[in-house]
């Protein structure tokens, strides 16, 4: 899925557009399985009782609320979080109703690092740490293929035409 072109400058192109790594969805999937399994078990227990319709309604309502809270909300949060690297800037956008975002021009990026532990290495993700000229280092967690993104970001910072022009002036 491409990032909306109307948010980019005329000469700007998307290099990487990704969502957080799929590992962030493991707990919601487990919650889905537990809620559905537990709800089915409780519905089977309530079935022989005289008030089974009320029991099924309560089980359905509680299960529905749990599914919204434990499964749907994290899924929507994952789907609406965008990590975008363009030829001019690094952007992170997140949120459904209240959107927030961070954008760092390539010329303001001083250094780029990544880190990942054993589990992250097995899964192919990690944390990208970006230090800009004026702010504290920004850490972006659960970036898929973090080493490749690190390399691409470093290459874009190094190839930034404004940075090259500034170096030539000095």
Q: In terms of pLDDT, which residue wins out, 142 or 132?
A: 142
User: What confidence category does residue 149 fall into, taking pLDDT thresholds of 50, 70 and 90?
Assistant: very high
Question: What's the rounded Cα separation, in Å, for the pair 146 and 21?
Answer: 10
pTM of the model: 0.80
What was the pLDDT predicted at 64?
A: 97
- What is the arithmetic mean of pLDDT over 150-166? 72
Question: What's the rounded Cα separation, in Å, for the pair 140 and 82?
Answer: 11
What was the pLDDT predicted at 164?
A: 47
Q: In terms of pLDDT, which residue wins out, 102 or 34?
A: 34
Quick check: 28 pLDDT over 50?
Answer: yes
Let me know: does 73 contact 64? Beta carbons within 8 Å. no
Give the tens place of pLDDT for each residue, 45-77.
998 888 889 999 999 999 999 999 999 999 999
- What is the arithmetic mean of pLDDT over 153-167? 67
Structure tokens that stand for 8 in this block: 């980019």
Spans of all domains in the chain: 13-18+82-169, 25-77
Question: What's the rounded Cα separation, in Å, for the pair 122 and 10?
Answer: 39
Please name the fold of domain 13-18+82-169: PH-domain like (2.30.29)
Let me know: does 66 contact 36? Beta carbons within 8 Å. no
With H, G, I as helix, E, B as strand and everything else as coil, classify residue 111. Answer: strand
- What is the arithmetic mean of pLDDT over 109-129? 93
Give the tens place of pLDDT for each residue, 121-136.
999 999 999 998 766 8
């Amino acid at each position: 899925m491409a990032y909306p072109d109307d948010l980019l400058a005329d000469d700007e192109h998307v290099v990487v557009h990704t969502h957080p790594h799929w590992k962030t969805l493991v707990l919601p999937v487990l919650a889905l399985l537990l809620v559905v399994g537990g709800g089915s078990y409780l519905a089977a227990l309530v079935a022989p009782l005289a008030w089974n319709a009320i029991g099924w309604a309560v089980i359905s309502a509680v299960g529905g609320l749990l599914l919204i809270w434990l499964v749907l909300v994290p899924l929507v949060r994952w789907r609406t979080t965008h990590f975008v690297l363009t030829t001019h800037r690094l952007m992170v956008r997140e949120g459904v109703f209240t959107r927030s975002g961070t954008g760092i021009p390539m010329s303001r990026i001083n250094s780029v690092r990544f880190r990942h532990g054993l589990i992250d290495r097995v899964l192919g993700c990690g944390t990208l740490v970006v230090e800009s000229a004026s702010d504290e280092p920004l850490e972006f967690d659960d970036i898929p293929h973090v080493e490749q993104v690190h390399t691409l970001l470093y290459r874009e910072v190094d190839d930034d035409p404004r940075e090259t022009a500034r170096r030539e002036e000095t």
